[in-house]
Amino acid sequence: MSEKDSLSFGISVKDQFEYLDLNKFNPIIKQMICNFANKHENAKTIINLKTLLSFSNSFIQQPQNPWVLFRRNIAKKLKILDNEASEIASYLWKNKSEREFQFWNDLYKVIEKIYSEYIEKNERNQRLDDDNNVDCEILNLIDIYSIDPSFSYVDFNSC
Give pLDDT tens digits for 104-134.
999 999 999 988 888 888 777 776 666 555 5
Residue 148 in this model has a pLDDT that exceeds 80: no
Pick from 105, 86, 77: nearest CA to 6: 77
Percentage of the chain beyond pLDDT 90 is 39
Residue 57 in this model has a pLDDT that exceeds 80: no
Label residue 136 by pLDDT band (50, 70, 90).
low
- Give the helix ranges, DSSP H, for 6-146: 13-17, 27-39, 49-53, 66-78, 82-94, 98-144
Residue 80 in this model has a pLDDT that exceeds 70: yes
Average pLDDT of the chain? 80
- Structure-model confidence comparison of residues 89 and 156, the more confident one: 89
How many residues in the chain? 159
Residues 68/73/77/78 CA torsion (nearest 10 deg): 0
Label residue 4 by pLDDT band (50, 70, 90).
low
